Amino acid sequence: MPRRATKRGAERTPLSGDVDVLICGASFAGLAVARELAGAGAEVLMIDRYEIGERQTSACGIPTDWLKALDLMGSFRQEFPELVVHTPHGTARYDLPFTFSTFDYPALCSLLDDQNDARFETAKVNGRTGNTVHTDRGDITAPLIVDGLGWRRMLAGDEGFQPPDAPLSRGLEVHPFGSSGDLEIWIDRRYVPAGYGWSFPADDEIRIGVGSFDPRFHVKGTTVLLAEDLGSEAVRYQGNWIPHQLRPATADGIFFAGDSAGHCLPLTAEGIRTALYFGIALGRELRAVVEQRSTRSRALARYHAFSAGHEWKYRAMLGAQRLVPRIPPRLLGPAVRAMGAKRFIDWSFGHYFDVANPAFALASPAPLPSRTKLRAVA
Ligand SMILES: Cc1cc2nc3c(=O)[nH]c(=O)nc-3n(C[C@H](O)[C@H](O)[C@H](O)COP(=O)(O)OP(=O)(O)OC[C@H]3O[C@@H](n4cnc5c(N)ncnc54)[C@H](O)[C@@H]3O)c2cc1C
């Protein structure tokens, strides 16, 4: 059972007031925004319903260079130079032009959190009126508000974003103890008609799961089946909805980053590095505002345009997401093997990598040398 660190009951004292920047959600997107605001001299408040790193939200696989670029190798678990792709009619090993790594979620969040000087409070966001966010501990007002709350896109102010009608995929995984040397995926209708299964080893545990592009397909039974097929126990579940369509990155004066903006990539459901990438881009725009080099309306326009400038890449990947399940299984095996040619892998994965290249992070200001938290003792 995860340790409950979040304040409960009488410890949950009122929280209200005005700040310069309010970041709602303290996972990949929110922490990346906060990092870029470090040292800007603004009063930044970050809130989440859980303590930072308390609730793992993914299999935690990412290109290794992102861990290096953000100085997060302290969270590293295991590295993979190859991707193993299984179909009912054969297996291919892709020699990747970059490596993927798995990491430890609490460790990564803690290391990333060390790179900001924001104040953090646990509070559940219930909604918003104008520039005021309503939480279970009170109302907080800010001219600059970030929604890094994940797929619900809670602060959009419209009727919301609900499965199964919204453009969402469904993902579930189990975390049995064990080890393996391969990063593996299964494109196999035995596990999911449209989507894929995965096994991401992370040192002493394996993250085995199934993702369905169709939100109506329930993945629990086939997640258990895949775990059984791999000789692993279906224990320690975690799952969530995964957006697979880009959404406007600003709306009604609010900035959205990560899953709230649909920044997770279609087809692969890779959403960590994109949450970091767009979070960094947003943090830089907000920093320019608090340092009076820009204005709120200019930041809204620039960040909106930056995110929308990636739309064609998201559309292309969504097209592939719709195409792959339509390929008859007997053709899929040979197609997957043919795509394993080194030149094709370097070209296709190179473009895929460039959708959110870690070089973007390296241009950011150096993180603070030491922890300079202003955490409030509530
Ligand atoms: C099973 C599964 C496996 C995945 N594996 C991978 C993978 O290996 N690699 C990869 O790149 N992507 C993976 N993804 C996708 C990835 O998890 C997301 O794209 C990524 O987590 C998005 O980051 P985020 O910061 O936008 O949102 P999230 O990580 O979802 O964080 C949202 C934060 O907001 C907080 N929050 C939510 N609602 C409220 C509220 N009302 N009040 C206060 N706080 C709130 C949450 O506690 C959380 O901390 C996976 C997804 C799933 C479901």
pLDDT tens digits, residue range 5-17? 566 666 678 898 9
In a domain, 377, yes or no: no
Q: Considering only CA atoms, which residue is closest to atom 39 of ligand 1?
A: 149
Q: What is the pLDDT of residue 18?
A: 95
Q: What's the average model confidence in pLDDT over 203-224?
A: 96
Residue 21 has a pLDDT of: 98
Q: Is 15 in the pocket of ligand 1 (CB under 6 A)?
A: no
Whole-number Å distance, alpha carbon 27 to ligand 1 midpoint, is 7
In ligand 1, the atom with minimum distance to the C-alpha of 258 is 26
- C-alpha 29 to ligand 1 mean position (Å): 9
Let me know if residue 102 belongs to a domain.
yes
* 34 occurs within a structural domain: yes
371 lies in some domain = no
Q: Mean of the pLDDT values across residues 276-291?
A: 97
Q: Is residue 4 in a domain? A: no
- CA 58 to each of CA 155, 221, 328: distance values in angstroms, whole numbers, following the listed order: 22, 19, 30
pLDDT recorded at residue 1: 34
Total number of domains in the chain: 1
Instruction: Report percent pLDDT > 70 for the chain.
Output: 93
Q: What's the confidence (pLDDT) of residue 366?
A: 47
Q: Is the CB of 57 under 6 A from ligand 1?
A: yes
pLDDT > 60? residue 377: no
Nearest CA to ligand 1 atom 26: 258
User: What are the tokens at 197?
Assistant: 């299964």
C-alpha–C-alpha distance, residues 258 and 246, integer Å: 10
Asked whether residue 273 is domain-assigned, the answer is yes
Between 373 and 253, whose confidence is greater?
Answer: 253
Kindly state if the Cβ of 264 falls inside 6 Å of ligand 1. Answer: yes
Instruction: Give the pLDDT confidence score for residue 10 in this predicted structure.
Output: 61
Containing structural domain, residue 278: 9-362
The answer to whether the CB of 239 is under 6 A from ligand 1 is yes
Confidence of residue 3 (pLDDT cuts 50, 70, 90): very low
Q: What is the mean pLDDT of the chain?
A: 92
Find the farthest-apart pair of alpha carbons in the chain and give their distance in angstroms, rounded. 62
Would residue 376 count as lying in a domain?
no
Assess whether the C-beta atom of 62 lies below 6 angstroms from ligand 1: yes
Is 251 inside any structural domain?
A: yes
Indicate if the pLDDT at residue 54 is higher than 60: yes
Neighbours of 343 (CB within 10 A): 7
Specify the CATH number for the domain of residue 310: 3.50.50.60
pLDDT(228) > 50: yes
> pLDDT tens digit string along 288-323?
999 999 999 999 999 999 999 999 999 999 999 999
220 in contact with ligand 1, CB cutoff 6 A:
no
Long-range CB contacts (within 8 A, 24+) of 308-314: 308/246, 308/248, 308/249, 310/246, 310/355, 311/246, 313/355, 314/245, 314/246, 314/262, 314/265, 314/266
- Report the pLDDT averaged over residues 144-152: 96
